């Protein structure tokens, strides 16, 4: 029985909710609300005109229930409620709620598995188009996949990572940016976005992508090292030193970070900056030590 004593008002509200859910074809919530109403009716002290009114509403709710497609299929003659048999009818509704819930969950899982199979097939087809150097058709298919499977969590991140792997950086950025707007802490999307900008030699954008990743995920050895390398390309020795040192603090055995620190130290502590004879930064900024 309910923790709070049922009233005519609470029973009428359960019946009203059951009818509303029946109109939306929500089987489980319809059955749940009806069961709650029946249970309330059995444990209430409602008499006279109020009880008559409740039974009238209950009859209407049962007609709504019996019109539902799945109920008609399971109970061609309909579910019948008899006054005085509230406990029995309540148990019938709850058994039906349990069985329908299990059946609907099984159907949902089966449908999802089938849908994910279709998704995998299309992903493979798109990858084969890329390998066949038919990138235009691959882009079209990836867009269709993203639109059709937009309800699948992480779909944009998945597509963006695949495009990054194929070296299709500009195309990947669109999906990765969208993925991060929905899930700002998506580690895979952050890493792929940084890789895209690095691959396109968009140094400033790569730096911003790394800093955004740090804001969302915190500083890591890998992110500090990547940022140090990008600053090295711009001969920004102070930032090279600071970030390489941060990477080295995370992992004292990081040989790349150690080399960058060693390379930047004389520039930072002597206040000098490597320049060509005309005063412009040198163009060859490869990380060779």
Does the residue 257 lie in any domain? yes
Q: Distance between CA atoms of 201 and 249, rounded to whole angstroms?
A: 27
Q: What domain range includes position 199?
A: 154-217
Tokens representing 143 are 């867009």
Banded model confidence at residue 271, pLDDT cuts 50, 70, 90: low
103 lies in the same domain as 27: yes
Does the residue 21 lie in any domain? yes
Q: How many domains does the chain have?
A: 3
Does the residue 141 lie in any domain? no
Residues 6+ apart with CB under 8 A from 18: 29, 30, 31, 33, 34, 37, 61, 64, 65
230 lies in the same domain as 275: yes
Could you tell me the pTM of the whole model?
Answer: 0.70
71 lies in the same domain as 160: no
116-153 pLDDT, tens per residue?
A: 999 999 999 999 999 999 999 999 999 999 999 999 99
Does the residue 3 lie in any domain? no
User: Residue 69's closest CA among 130, 127, 15, 26?
Assistant: 26
User: Residue 146's closest CA among 133, 163, 132?
Assistant: 163
Start-to-end Cα distance in the chain: 78
CATH (domain of 177): 1.25.40.10
User: Residue 22's closest CA among 11, 13, 33, 12?
Assistant: 33
Does the residue 173 lie in any domain? yes
Does the residue 60 lie in any domain? yes
CB 118 within 8 A of CB 95: no
78-99 pLDDT, tens per residue?
A: 888 888 788 899 999 999 999 9
204 lies in the same domain as 265: no
**Between helices 221-233 and 203-217, what is the axis angle to 10°?**
160
81 lies in the same domain as 169: no
Average pLDDT, the chain: 89
């Amino acid at each position: 029985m309910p923790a709070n004593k049922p009233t005519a008002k609470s029973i009428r509200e359960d019946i009203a909710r059951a009818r509303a859910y029946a109109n939306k074809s929500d089987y489980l919530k319809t059955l749940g609300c009806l069961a709650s109403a029946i249970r309330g009716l059995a444990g209430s002290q409602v008499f006279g005109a109020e009880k008559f009114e409740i039974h009238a509403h209950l009859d209407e709710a049962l007609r709504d229930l019996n019109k539902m497609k799945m109920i008609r299929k399971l109970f061609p003659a309909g579910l019948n409620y008899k006054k005085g048999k509230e406990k029995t009818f309540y148990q019938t509704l709850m058994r039906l709620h349990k069985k329908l819930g299990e059946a609907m969950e099984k159907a949902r899982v089966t449908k999802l598995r089938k849908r994910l199979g279709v998704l995998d097939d299309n992903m493979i087809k798109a990858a084969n188009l890329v390998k066949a150097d038919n990138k235009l058709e691959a882009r079209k298919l990836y867009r269709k996949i993203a639109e059709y499977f937009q309800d699948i969590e992480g779909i944009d991140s998945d597509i963006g990572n695949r495009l990054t792997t194929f070296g299709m950086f500009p195309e990947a950025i669109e999906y990765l940016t969208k993925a991060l707007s929905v899930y700002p802490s998506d580690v895979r999307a952050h890493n792929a976005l940084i890789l895209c900008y690095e691959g396109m030699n968009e140094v400033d954008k790569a730096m911003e992508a790394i800093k955004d990743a740090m804001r969302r995920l915190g500083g890591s050895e890998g992110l500090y090292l990547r940022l140090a390398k990008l600053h090295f390309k711009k001969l920004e020795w102070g930032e090279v030193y600071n970030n390489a040192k941060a990477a080295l603090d995370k992992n004292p055995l990081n040989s790349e970070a150690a080399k960058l620190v060693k390379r930047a130290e004389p520039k930072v502590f002597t206040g000098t900056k490597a320049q060509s004879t005309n005063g412009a930064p040198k163009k060859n900024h490869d990380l060779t030590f």
